[in-house]
Amino acid sequence: MSSAPLLQIQNLHAEVDGKAILRGVDLVLERGQVHAIMGPNGSGKSTLAYILAGKDGYDITDGRILFEGSDLAEMDVETRARAGLFLGFQYPVAIDGVATISFLKEAVNARRAAAGKDKLDAVAFLKQVRAFAAQLSFDESMLKRYINLGFSGGEKKRAEILQMLLLEPTLAVLDETDSGLDVDALKTVATGIESLRSPERAMLLITHYQRLLQHVRPDYVHIMADGNILHSGGPELAQKVEDGGYAEFQQSARTAQTAQA
Amino acid sequence: MSAQVSNLPQGAHQAVTSLMEAAKRIEAGASTGEETALRRKAREQFAALGLPTRRLEAWRYTDLAGALQGPLPPLSSSGDIQLNEPFKGALGSLDEALENARAQAGGELSASIVFVDGRFSAQHSRLDKLPKTVRLRAGYVPLANEDVGDGDNDMLGSLNLSLASDGFEIIVDPNAGAEAFIHLFFASTHKESCSMHSRANVRLGKGANLKLFETHAGIGDVPCLQTHITDVTLDESAKLEHACVEDNGTQHISLARLKARLKQEAQLSCAALGVGGKLVRREYNVLFEGGGATAKLSALSLANAGETRDINAKLHHKVPDCISDTLVKSVLTDDARGVFQGLVRVEPGATQSNGQQTSKALLLGRGASMNAKPELEIFNDDVECAHGSAVGELDQEALFYLRARGISEGNARQLLINAFLNDVFERIEDDALQLAVESRALNWLEDASVRAREA
Amino acid sequence: MSPLAQQTVDAVERLRDERKKYDFFTDIESDKAPKGLNEDIIRFISAKKQEPEWLLEWRLRAYQRWLKMSHPDWARVAHPPIDYQDLYYYAAPKTNVDRPKSLDEVDPELLRTYEKLGIPLAEQEILAGVAVDAVFDSVSVATTFKEKLREVGVIFSSFSEAVQEHPELVRRYLGSVVPYSDNFFATLNSAVFTDGSFVYIPEGVRCPMELSTYFRINEANTGQFERTLIIAEKDSYVSYLEGCTAPQRDENQLHAAVVELVALDDAEIKYSTVQNWYPGDAEGKGGIYNFVTKRGDCRGDRSKISWTQVETGSAITWKYPSCILRGDNSVGEFYSIAIANNHQQIDSGTKMLHLGKNTSSRVISKGISAGKSSNCYRGLVSIHPKAESARNFTQCDSLLIGDSTSAHTTPYIESKNPTALLEHEATTSKVSEEQLFYCRQRGIGEEEAVALIVNGFCREVLQKLPMEFAVEAQQLVGISLEGSIG
């Protein structure tokens, strides 16, 4: 394993359908760390998540992203995923007719093949899925249903976490995983995320609110607005947002800009 | 043409011969050389095409030749119509019928244009309240701007063009017409077999609005062939609401076509109720030429013994972001026949198109039949198109349920049919138009043959 | 390896020695009729097959009829006119000299596909038409199966054989479902068919195994004008598989097959097809023209005919497996997956003709269009006045991949009985960017993701295939769509 940081985002500028969204983001994630990015709607949080995953229509216009020292821009979507980059979607898409369990198996084996491992046999695979499903109070009958089709908001998020646990990513980017969850579900999901925390991997939690961070305590918190990270600090920042909202950060950023000018 | 005619049944042969002779006369009497040329072209086209056979896809389910039973000379333009002739029928006198229709429209009419036996009747029409921004010309509409061209060079198009003697033109100025509500009344009072052919142009300027309420009323059992073509152009953001009630005599054959070109963001909403006549066939031919336009077509086909209702709707998505939505409901008693042929065509560049077609039919009579063909032609992947079709009888369980609650069978049937039709009424945005269509439809439901249990 | 494939290999092993005793081809090896179609050619074919006079007469009547017919133009397919005088209507099977000597001489694209489908080497050679000693002769294989079948009285033979051995059955049923005058291609087939399959299931017998053409015919030569006749006597059952998932080498461009099924009281016929003929190259050059007439007659009360098809091959597919629901309470089913990629053209669907009381039918069609292809569902549901309480449900879905393709739906829904209930639904959708992205984010490659999504779309139909076929068919779905994205 290289000694480079797990993820380095350097002066990242990006646009979506020709519209500039990210304007010079810098961020470094070391293995073992959990970072949270907070920010108001439209600040560019989800764009950052999609840029990391490599979604079409999301283009880097300047700067670069290094994943384990390699340029992410050189890798296509599935290569990133197989290398261990996992995106928990804010709005997971439904795919009619494709049973969740077959999908999971396909994904797990794709990741294993990329790592030079043999395919899991059906029994071992099922055993693993069942264990994680139980951990997440994810009803096993859901596994036979089609991917996200007719799932409630909470079920979709649990399914995302279940996939994360199965795929054992080195970098998990979770986009608003806490939205649409009631208190109990939030705890379950948080426990799931927490169980994956280890010195080998890092996590990037993207969230609008602070409530997930009460259960999964981040090492660092970044405040994002207008396509940039305005402020970084420890977990106490999250509380500050909770108390005072984002306005004060945006205000101070503007003041800083004016001062610079 | 001789070959075409010679294969026809005698009645149809006589009909075609009478129409062709009249076409030649009209052609000879045309006022300009241009008109003569146009009429001749149309006549020759009709001669070449002949009557449509059922081998022709668009006429697969309607046997026009079989429905024509003898000469159908167009009523001549020599003014031999006696407007004061007593008009007696189901609807009462002509004046009563007209009043009735006007009352249905809710009394907020800006104009009422009356045609008697295919001829414009100045005497019965009322044009005085029409806003200045709405320009109306009734009577003979010159054919100079017409062409047999695109999509109209078929039997109906060429026959109508070669014979049309009267019609009207409505032009609404840009951003005008918010209050314009025009009533069109077509009365058939003829005593002998005949045919009548009319054309209309409706053009709405940018952002203009118009409500059109069209009623066709006829009496008796004298054979008649009526053709009527309405040519609609809606400029950017214009909105036309059109509702039509066809309530003709028992031997009346009505072939109507409404073709529409929709520019950007234009809205077309059409509702048609076919309730009286041996054959009521209505064609819609909608062309989306500007992005974001919508067309909502609703048709109600109600038919009793010996009658046919035929709805033919073509929606052509040529540009992106347009919505078409067609709903056809048929209630068929005795041995009535219902037809729906729909086509949604989405061109390669017409991304984000949405085309919906639904046809539902209730068969209430032993010999009743329904034929539906909702077609899709999709040439790009960025579309949302669907069609649904259902044919069946009244839900026996629901009927039983209602009767178990003490509702008579007749009333229960009526309730359920009413429920079946309800969503068509609800699609008519304008209250006056909705009421007009709904009241005539419910009136039909009162009819004993609908209420009765099938034989 | 699928059980079916394993069975094949076992059979080959067993027969390898045995087959040396026979040489099926020697007596006809020198035969070759000249190009062109005329009465003499038909007489020649009939004579070669030592057919009875009535069958020759029947062929000639068909030919006379065909001369007066014109090529149908209503289908949504376009191709240059076919010169029927430029075809061979009778040619002996290829000799070893003409065949590829080994797999090295075979189109590597074809081999790549075989490999993906997991087809064993021995079978690959057969499919590619390689001239090797070990080539299992399908006719010989059939004989072992025949033993088993004979025990229960099932007749499963080539059509020619049936004409010799069971002329009374052939005469009684041939043309009774698809008359010789039925349509241009069926009439042509009636005049010139060279061989095909014949199946007879006696009363009360449940056929002990899936019957498959795969084991029986030397496809390379009888495929062109094939004729199949299946008769299920009262209270019998048979499941019949036609074709296979592997693309087959075939030099005949025109195929015009006819399949007739007859189900008597309480009988059930399940007919499954996987059609993977050569579709032409990515530019639309070459490929098979497949004009097929398939029809089942539910002649008996409570009989059932079920068609399942996976159509992925051919440049042109023109095919409408239909059911005549004549018997009271009879059931017709049509489950279809039709995949068109590149320049392929498909015009396919079904006809459900309800004549008897309480007849019911179910139509599930999944059409997938990719590349520059055209895919049309054309269907008819017709309820006759006497079909009391008939039922039909039709679901017809189109999936589009890419913006240069087209999907069409032309359903005819005709009811003449008020007690009948017909429901028809159709949708059009695409493989969405969102779905692809989601799968790829989970590490699933783009083509696998397309295959996954499309298989999901087709699920309901795939489930109707016999087990042996289902797995291979799923792989086939993915392979057929290769290159459709990006």
Give mean pLDDT, residues C318-347: 96
Residue-averaged pLDDT of chain C:
83
Residue A115 lies in a domain: yes
Work out the mean pLDDT of chain A and round it to a whole number.
Answer: 89
Residue A2 inside a domain? The answer is no
| Calpha distance C445→C441 (Å, rounded) | 9
**Cβ contact C443–A87 (<8 Å):** no
Average pLDDT over residues A228-252: 83
Looking at chain C, the whole-number percentage of residues with pLDDT higher than 90 is: 53
pLDDT of residue C35: 79
The pLDDT assigned to A260 comes to: 52
Binary contact (C455, A98; C-beta < 8 A): yes
Q: Give me the pLDDT at residue B35, please.
A: 83
- pLDDT score for B81: 42
Predicted confidence band of residue B90 (pLDDT cuts 50, 70, 90)? very low
**What is the average per-residue pLDDT within C175-187?**
95
pLDDT for res A241: 82
Instruction: Please give the pLDDT value at position B241.
Output: 96
Asked if the model's pLDDT at residue B253 lies above 50, the reply is yes
Alpha-carbon gap, residue B289 to B350, rounded angstroms: 10
CB nearest C437 (choices: A77, A96, A107): A77
A98/C452 CB distance under 8 A: yes
Note whether residue A233 is domain-resident. yes
A196 touches chain C (CB under 8 A): no
Q: pLDDT-derived band of residue A255, with 50, 70 and 90 as boundaries?
A: low
From the list B121, B105, B170, the residue with the least C-alpha distance to B141 is B170
- What was the pLDDT predicted at A246? 79
Q: Cα separation of C21 and B355, whole Å?
A: 66
Helix (H) or strand (E) holding B309: strand B308-317
Lowest mean pLDDT among B98-112, C8-22, C141-155, C262-276: C8-22
Residue C252 pLDDT level (bands cut at 50, 70, 90):
low
- Nearest residue in chain C measured CA to CA from B334: C418
- Amino acid (one-letter) located at C237: Y
The pTM for the full model equals 0.85
Tell me the pLDDT of chain B averaged across its residues: 86
Q: Say whether pLDDT at B83 is over 60.
A: no
**CB of C436 less than 8 A from some CB of B:** no
Structure confidence at residue C245 (pLDDT): 60
- Which pLDDT value is given to residue C271? 96
* Subunits with 3+ C-beta pairs closer than 8 A to C: A, B
Domains contained in chain A, number: 1
Neighbours of B247 (CB within 10 A): 24
Q: Facing residues of B91 across strands?
A: none
Phi then psi for residue C269, to 5 deg, are: -120, 130
- Alpha helices (runs of H) in C368-432, residue ranges in sequence order: none
Subunit contact A82:C440, Cβ cutoff 8 A: no
pLDDT confidence bin for C479, thresholds 50/70/90: confident
On the question of pLDDT at C253 being above 90, the answer is no
Residue contact C420–B392, C-beta within 8 A: yes
Chain A CB contacts of C448 below 8 Å: 106, 110
Q: Note which residues in 365-384 of chain C have CB less than 8 A from chain B.
A: 383
Q: What is the mean pLDDT of residues C100-128?
A: 64
Express each pLDDT in A110-124 by its tens digit. 889 888 998 888 888
CA distance C13 to B196: 82
Which of the two residues, B81 and A56, has the higher pLDDT score? A56
A1 lies in a domain? no
Residue B454 banded pLDDT, cuts 50, 70, 90: very low
pLDDT at B194 over 50: yes
In degrees, to the nearest 5, what angle opens at C-alpha A121 toward C-alphas A118 and A127? 120
- pLDDT score of A52 more than 90: yes
Place of tokens 């049973």: A99
Most confident of B64-68, C224-228, C232-236: C232-236
Which residue of B60, B62, B364, B378 is the best one to mutate when testing the C interface, meaning the one whose CB has the most C CBs within 10 A?
B378
Residue A125 contacts C where some CB pair is shorter than 8 Å: no
Comparing B56 with C176, which gets the higher pLDDT?
C176
Parent domain of A131: 7-260
pLDDT of residue A153: 87
> Quick check: C4 pLDDT over 80?
no
- According to the model, what pLDDT value does residue C20 have? 33
CATH, residue A82 = 3.40.50.300
Nearest Cα to Cα of residue B335 among B302, B375, B356, B304: B304
Q: pLDDT for C352-399, tens place per residue?
A: 999 999 999 999 999 999 999 999 999 999 999 999 999 999 999 999
Question: B350 CA to chain C: closest CA distance, Å?
Answer: 10
**CA angle, residues C453, C455, C458, in degrees to nearest 5:** 115
- Cβ atoms of A101 and A133 within 8 Å: the answer is no
Measured CA to CA, the distance from residue B68 to residue B53 in angstroms comes to 13
A89 belongs to a structural domain = yes
Quick one: pLDDT at residue A242? 80
Q: What percent of chain A has pLDDT over 70?
A: 95
What pLDDT was estimated at residue C140?
A: 43
Most confident of B296-300, C312-316, C466-470: B296-300
The pair of structure tokens assigned to C140 is: 């010989």
| pLDDT range class, residue C118, cuts 50, 70, 90 | low
pLDDT tens track for A127-139: 999 999 998 888 8
Closest CA of chain A from C458, distance in Å? 7
Distance CA B418, CA B402 (A): 14
Interval C438-453 mean pLDDT: 92
Task: Indicate whether B401 pLDDT > 90.
Answer: no
**pLDDT at position B451:** 59
Query: B76 pLDDT exceeds 90?
Result: no
The residue type found at C452 is L
CB distance from C428 to chain B under 8 Å? yes
pLDDT band at C146 (very low <50, low <70, confident <90, very high): confident
Contact A154, A148 (CB under 8 A): no
Question: Between residues C92 and B345, which one has the greater pLDDT?
Answer: B345
What residues in B contact C410, CB-CB < 8 Å? 373, 375
Is B386 in Cβ contact with C406 (below 8 Å)? Answer: no
The answer to whether residue A134 sits within a structural domain is: yes
DSSP string for residues in C91-155? BPPPPGGGS-SSGGGS-HHHHHHHHHHT--HHHHHHHTT---TTPPPHHHHHHHHHHHHHHHT-E
Q: Which residues pair with C354 in a beta bridge?
A: C325, C383
Instruction: Give residue-wise pLDDT tens across range C12-56.
Output: 444 333 333 333 333 333 356 777 889 988 998 898 889 999 999
Using 50, 70 and 90 to split pLDDT, how confident is the model at C426? very high
Distance, in Å, from the CA atom of C397 to the CA atom of C365, rounded to the nearest integer, reads 6
Q: Is C443 close to A110, i.e. CB distance below 8 A?
A: yes
Round to whole Å and give the CA distance between C466 and B187. 65
* Interface membership of C54 toward A (CB under 8 Å): no
Q: What band does A209 get if pLDDT is binned at 50, 70 and 90? A: confident
The pLDDT assigned to C68 comes to 95
Rg for chain B (alpha carbons), in Å?
A: 21
Mean pLDDT of A172-178: 92
How confident is the model at residue C101, as a pLDDT?
65
3-state secondary structure of B290: coil
Query: Interior CA angle at A231 toward A225 and A237, to 5°?
Result: 105
